[in-house]
Chains A and B, each alone.
Chain A
Amino acid sequence: MAEMWINMGPQHPMTHGLWNLRIKVDGETIVDAEPEIGYLHRGYEKIMEVREFQKNVVLTDRLCYVSSITWSHCYCLACEAAMDLDVPERGKYLRVVSNELQRIASHLMWLAAYGPDLGLLTALLWALRERELFLDLLQLITGARMNQNYPRIGGVRNDAPGDFEKYCAKVIGHFRKKLGEHEKVFEQSKLFQVRIDLRKLDPYDAYPEMDFQPAVEQEGDSYARYKVRVEEMKTSCDIILQALHKMPTGPYRVKPPRRIEGEGFRRTEDSRGEALFYVIGDGDDRPYRVKIRSPVFSNIAAAPLMMRGNKVADVVAIMGSIDVCVGEMDK
C-alpha cells in the first residue's frame, strides 16, 4: 500500500492544545512522525526583557496554566541564583507545599485528560472531582484557583492561613482513599526508561529535609508513564504533610535587590520533567535575556522515535501520556 502523510491536528482531540502531529503511515503502521509546533508562540523570552524581574512572575505563571506555581518557582530560583539571594526557611517550606499541591492538581488534570483519550469517561469526572479539592487548598493559601502568582523572588507572596495544616490533612486523607479507585478504573483497561528526580539529585528549597523516594519505572511505555504519575501523587501527599509538620515559624520573604548584574540558572522538577531557567542581568532592573527550557518541548522531539512501528490507534495513548502543555512548549 502506498505510504501517505496524515495530519493529526491542529484541531484534533489528541493534541490537548494547538499543535500538529504529522504521521506517515503504511496502511495502519506508522513509518515516521513529525511534530509541528509554534501555534501558541507568544515570544515570552522577548516580552520578559522589558519587564521588571519581579513583574515577570505574572508571565511565567501563564507558561502552563495547569502548573503555574512550579514555573514561577523555577524562574524565582534562577533569579535568586543570579542575585545570590537566600530565602528564609519558612519561605522555602511554603514553596515546597505550594509546589506539591500544584503538582497533584496538574497530574490530576492530566489523568482527567488521559482518561477520555483511552475511552474512560469515568476518569475525567473523578479526577476533576478530586482536583477541585486541591484547587480549594491552593485558593486557601494563594487566593486563586489558577495563575496564582504566588512565588516571589526572595520567598512567597503571603503566609499560609493558621489552620492550613488541618485542611491539608483532611483533603489528603480523603484523596489517598480515592486514588485507589482511580487506579482500579485505569487498570481494568490494560493498555521512559530511568526517571531522574531533580528534587533528589539537585535539591532546592526545603527538599533536602524531606524524606521521600522518587517514583521510578523501568519500562518506558505509556503505562509506565501513567504509573510514575500516580506514584508521584502519593509522594507529593507525603511531602506536603511532612513539610507542614516541620515548617518553622519566622519570616517567609526577603526583599530582593531590584537589579541584577550577572547571570544564574536553576533547574527544577516540574510536573512534566526538567524545567530550567537561565537569567542574565546587565545591571538594569529588567533581564537582559531569559531562556526557558521546557520539558514538553524536549519530549515532543522524541515523538518520531516513540511513534515508529506503532499503529495509528495508539497515537492518542502515546502522545497523551507525555502530558502535553502547549503553553510551555511554544513559549
Chain B
Amino acid sequence: MGIEGEVLAGLKDRFGEPSFRSLAIVRDRVVKIVIDRKDLVAVCTFLKSKFDMAHLSSIAAVDWRDHFESVYHLTSWSRNFMVQINAWIPHDDPHIDSVVPLWNGANVHEREAYDLMGIIYDGHPNLTRILLPKDFEFFPLRKDFPQEVDRQYVSRRKIGGG
C-alpha cells in the first residue's frame, strides 16, 4: 500500500467514512478529500500530527453558486505527498474556521480568500482586505459580480450565467 492508501485508510479509521463527501486518489502521491466545514480543523489537525503535513501551499475559494468551497493544498515534505481538502460552506452563511493556529502561512491566504470571495475565516487574527482597497464594497470573484464583457468575445453561456 502506497502513501495514498495509507492516508485514506487513516482518515477513514479516525473519522469514519460517512463524515467525508468523497475520498479519492487524484494521481501519484496526491489525495483529494471533500468534507463539510465543521470537520475542517479536526481533519487538518489529524493530518498534520499523523502525516507531518508541515506546509500549506495555498487556500483557494470557489463559488459554486449553491455553495462555496474553501480548497486547501497541503504538503508533507518528509513523506513527499499532497492532500487537497475541499471544505463545503453554505452560500447564505459563508463562515469557516481558520487554520492559522495550525499553519502560520495560512494568514495571508485566508485574507486573500476573504478579500476576493468574501468567506469569513472565524478565529483569524486580522481578517482585513489585502489586495483591494479597504473601502471596497464587493467580493469580485463571486459569480454574481459581473465582468465587463462587451469589448470581447465571450461565450453565450458565460453571459447568461453572469
CA distance A130 to B91 in the complex (A): 53
Task: Confirm or deny: A41 has a beta carbon within 8 angstroms of a beta carbon on chain B.
Answer: yes
CA distance A331 to B130 in the complex (A): 12
CA distance A274 to B109 in the complex (A): 14
**What are the residues of chain A within 8 A of B155 when measuring CB–CB?**
284-286
| Contact in complex: A50, B147 (CB < 8 Å) | yes
| Contact in complex: B154, A291 (CB < 8 Å) | no
| Contact in complex: B29, A202 (CB < 8 Å) | yes
**What are the residues of chain A within 8 A of B27 when measuring CB–CB?**
81
Q: Give the size of the chain A interface in residues (CB under 8 angstroms).
A: 33
Per-residue 0/1 for A271-303: is the Cβ within 8 Å of any B Cβ (1 yes, 0 no)? 000101010100011101101010001101100
| Contact in complex: A41, B132 (CB < 8 Å) | yes
**What are the residues of chain B within 8 A of A291 when measuring CB–CB?**
58, 60, 71
Given contacts A202-B29, A286-B158, A301-B107, contact A278 B141 (CB under 8 A): no
Given contacts A46-B141, A289-B62, contact A274 B57 (CB under 8 A): yes
Partner of A37 from the list B131, B149, B158 (CB cut-off 8 Å) is B131
CA distance A278 to B109 in the complex (A): 14
Task: Confirm or deny: A131 has a beta carbon within 8 angstroms of a beta carbon on chain B.
Answer: no
**What are the residues of chain A within 8 A of B62 when measuring CB–CB?**
280, 288-289
| Contact in complex: A297, B147 (CB < 8 Å) | no
Task: Confirm or deny: A45 has a beta carbon within 8 angstroms of a beta carbon on chain B.
Answer: yes
Given contacts A41-B131, A276-B57, contact A50 B140 (CB under 8 A): no
CA distance A37 to B71 in the complex (A): 23
Q: Give the size of the chain B interface in residues (CB under 8 angstroms).
A: 34
Given contacts A46-B140, A46-B141, A289-B62, contact A196 B57 (CB under 8 A): no
Task: Confirm or deny: A257 has a beta carbon within 8 angstroms of a beta carbon on chain B.
Answer: no
**What are the residues of chain B within 8 A of A267 when measuring CB–CB?**
57, 73
Per-residue 0/1 for B53-64: is the Cβ within 8 Å of any A Cβ (1 yes, 0 no)? 000011010110
Report the minimum CB–CB distance from B129 to chain A (whole Å): 8
| Contact in complex: B73, A278 (CB < 8 Å) | yes
| Contact in complex: B147, A46 (CB < 8 Å) | yes
Quick one: closest A residue to B134, CB to CB? A38
Task: Confirm or deny: A201 has a beta carbon within 8 angstroms of a beta carbon on chain B.
Answer: yes
CA distance A49 to B84 in the complex (A): 22
Report the minimum CB–CB distance from B101 to chain A (whole Å): 16
Quick one: closest B residue to A284, CB to CB? B157
Given contacts A45-B116, A50-B158, A298-B108, contact A289 B60 (CB under 8 A): yes
Quick one: closest B residue to A294, CB to CB? B58
Task: Confirm or deny: B15 has a beta carbon within 8 angstroms of a beta carbon on chain A.
Answer: no
Given contacts A196-B77, A276-B57, contact A43 B105 (CB under 8 A): no
**What are the residues of chain B within 8 A of A265 when measuring CB–CB?**
73, 84
Interface members, chain B 95-131 (any A CB < 8 Å): 105, 107-109, 112, 116, 129-131
Per-residue 0/1 for B124-162: is the Cβ within 8 Å of any A Cβ (1 yes, 0 no)? 000001111100000011000101010010110110000
Report the minimum CB–CB distance from B27 to chain A (whole Å): 7
Task: Confirm or deny: B80 has a beta carbon within 8 angstroms of a beta carbon on chain A.
Answer: yes
CA distance A289 to B60 in the complex (A): 10
Report the minimum CB–CB distance from A182 to chain B (whole Å): 31
Given contacts A38-B132, A43-B140, A284-B158, contact A278 B60 (CB under 8 A): yes
Partner of B58 from the list A49, A51, A278 (CB cut-off 8 Å) is A278
**What are the residues of chain A within 8 A of B105 when measuring CB–CB?**
298, 301
Interface members, chain A 173-229 (any B CB < 8 Å): 196, 201-202
**What are the residues of chain A within 8 A of B107 when measuring CB–CB?**
301
Interface members, chain A 132-179 (any B CB < 8 Å): none
Partner of A278 from the list B29, B71, B77 (CB cut-off 8 Å) is B71
**What are the residues of chain B within 8 A of A285 when measuring CB–CB?**
155
**What are the residues of chain A within 8 A of B152 when measuring CB–CB?**
50-51
**What are the residues of chain A within 8 A of B108 when measuring CB–CB?**
297-298, 300-301
Quick one: closest B residue to A283, CB to CB? B157
CA distance A274 to B80 in the complex (A): 15
Task: Confirm or deny: A330 has a beta carbon within 8 angstroms of a beta carbon on chain B.
Answer: yes
CA distance A286 to B109 in the complex (A): 25
Q: CB within 8 Å of B: which residues of A?
A: 37-38, 41, 43, 45-47, 49-51, 81, 196, 201-202, 265, 267, 274, 276, 278, 280, 284-286, 288-289, 291, 293, 297-298, 300-301, 330-331
Given A37-B130, A37-B131, A289-B63, 11 further pairs, Cβ under 8 A: A38-B130, A46-B145, A49-B147, A50-B149, A202-B29, A276-B58, A278-B71, A278-B73, A288-B62, A289-B60, A293-B57
3 smallest beta-carbon distances between A and B, as pairs: A291-B60, A293-B58, A38-B131
